[in-house]
Amino acid sequence: GMPAAPPPVLAPRRKTRQLQVGSVSVGSDSPVSVQSMCTTKTADVNATLQQIAELTASGCQIVRVAVPDTDDAEALAEIARKSQIPVIADIHFQPRYVFAAIDAGCAAVRVNPGNIKKFDDKVGEIARAAKDRGTPIRIGVNAGSLDKRLLAKYGKATPEALVESALMECALFEEHDFRDIKISVKHNDPVVMVRAYELLAAQCDYPLHLGVTEAGPAFQGTIKSAVAFGALLSQGIGDTIRVSLSAPPVEEVKVGNQILESLNLRQRGLEIVSCPSCGRAQVDVYKLADEVTAGLEGMEVPLRVAVMGCVVNGPGEAREADLGVASGNGKGQIFVKGEVVKTVPESMIVETLIEEAMKIAEAMTDAGTP
Ligand code: SF4
């Protein structure tokens, strides 16, 4: 058959400098990557590596670890060496930990210019060490820890203040001919955050790391992040993303991946197309959709599965999907690639869909896709 055309995207990616965060390339046409941050004590190497393994399995591509203490800095070398994905050290107050992280072989170091005034004098030394090791620096500005001088100038963490803080710090690194930089300007208000990134994107060609900071518990944080990242990624702005949730980091990764999939910036895995149900439904659609989702969890192939409550839109959607069911009269018509392959009683719908999904997945894997 004809090779499938790549799915449409809302905008071409913004042109940026490219950089390497370990094995992951960042910027311009490199795929947008998903990051998260460990919640373990970094000094607890086993717990941290265990969490990194879980994050990797859930589709995390770059992981960040906090370095508040000497013990944490000392753990970095082993973590960086044993992690399956690149590790970024997150440094707030002590410039000496920046050197430790670079020496430890971390894939990048995040610094917060608002929190380390001592940094300004150390930039030359940091730039030299980072350049020698090929370690990129993320300049991570955060509304909650904005540089006091800028807070005084702007009165609060406005988009302009966030951007000025980031670009001031960049200028210090540029003086030392260091441009292996990624920038973030996080704010908890998606509107302020979006405006800040738009301004920043217009004023530099560094890759950008997107984040809504302190976005909140899972439900609120998911929506805030999806709205804000959607507004930016739909303009081609954003090279790495991190969804911040007051929830386990694996959840952040799932949300991040789902955002990218929704914008066709990442190949879809399993996608359930299910109807909201209505007065016409002849089956419990919520239950059916949940059971199918649970039954197919972890499938590695891009599969669109339609779960429809009745025959109004049911057959049409089910036909457009790789696999689907349209219910009616206590039965389910099972569609595969647009053809009704069988009609089964309601009680058999879930297991039949799972069975058919496995067959399709096998055929896809044999054919070498993806
Ligand atoms: Fe209602 Fe049928 Fe549409 Fe589902 S598919 S929302 S049950 S009309």
pLDDT at position 327 is 87
Using the mean position of ligand 1's atoms as its centre, give its distance from the Cα of residue 266 in Å.
29
- Please give the order of strands across the beta sheet that includes 331-336: 270-274, 303-308, 323-328, 331-336, 339-345
262-265 — which CB contacts under 8 Å span 24+ positions? 262/226, 262/230, 263/9, 263/10, 263/230, 263/233, 263/234, 264/7, 264/8, 264/9, 265/9, 265/31, 265/32, 265/233
pLDDT for 26-64, tens place per residue?
999 899 999 999 999 999 999 999 999 999 999 999 999
| Residue 275, marked binder | yes
Using the mean position of ligand 1's atoms as its centre, give its distance from the Cα of residue 319 in Å.
15
CA–CA gap between residue 163 and residue 358 (Å, rounded): 49
pLDDT at position 106 is 98
Rg over CA atoms, the chain: 23
DSSP string, 110-157: EE-TTT-TTHHHHHHHHHHHHHHHT--EEEEEEGGG--HHHHHHHSS-
Q: Is 278 in the pocket of ligand 1 (CB under 6 A)?
A: yes
Q: Is 273 in the pocket of ligand 1 (CB under 6 A)?
A: no
Kindly list the distances between the CA atom of residue 40 and the CA atoms of 52, 64, 111, 288, in Å, as whole numbers in the listed order: 10, 11, 20, 37
Q: Is 316 in the pocket of ligand 1 (CB under 6 A)?
A: no
Using the mean position of ligand 1's atoms as its centre, give its distance from the Cα of residue 297 in Å.
24
pLDDT at position 197 is 98
pLDDT at position 3 is 58
pLDDT at position 291 is 92
Residues 61 and 49 sit within 8 Å (Cβ to Cβ): no
Q: Single out the residue of 124, 126, 93, 90 nearest to residue 107, CA to CA.
A: 90
Closest ligand 1 atom to 310 CA: 2
Q: Is 281 in the pocket of ligand 1 (CB under 6 A)?
A: yes
For residue 183, list its beta bridge partners.
Answer: 139, 208
Using the mean position of ligand 1's atoms as its centre, give its distance from the Cα of residue 311 in Å.
7
Helices (H), 187-274: 190-203, 218-233, 249-262
Q: Whose CA is nearest to atom 6 of ligand 1?
A: 277
pLDDT for 123-152, tens place per residue?
999 999 999 999 999 999 999 889 888 999
CA–CA gap between residue 308 and residue 312 (Å, rounded): 9
CA–CA gap between residue 164 and residue 147 (Å, rounded): 10
Q: Is 312 in the pocket of ligand 1 (CB under 6 A)?
A: yes
pTM for the full model?
0.87
Mutate to test the pocket of ligand 1, among 285, 287, 288, 313 (most ligand atoms within 8 A of CB): 313
pLDDT at position 301 is 79
ipTM value of the model?
0.98
Q: Whose CA is nearest to atom 2 of ligand 1?
A: 310
CA–CA gap between residue 329 and residue 349 (Å, rounded): 13
pLDDT at position 90 is 96
Residues 272 and 295 sit within 8 Å (Cβ to Cβ): no
pLDDT at position 313 is 75
Residue type, 38: C
Closest ligand 1 atom to 313 CA: 5
Using the mean position of ligand 1's atoms as its centre, give its distance from the Cα of residue 283 in Å.
10
- Please give the order of strands across the beta sheet that includes 87-91: 181-186, 137-142, 108-111, 87-91, 62-66, 33-37, 240-242, 209-210
91-95 — which CB contacts under 8 Å span 24+ positions? 91/67, 91/116, 92/68, 92/116, 92/145, 93/68, 95/119, 95/122, 95/126
For residue 88, list its beta bridge partners.
Answer: 64, 108
List the chain residues with pLDDT less than 70: 1-4, 116-120, 368-370
pLDDT at position 365 is 75
Q: Is 279 in the pocket of ligand 1 (CB under 6 A)?
A: no
pLDDT at position 21 is 98
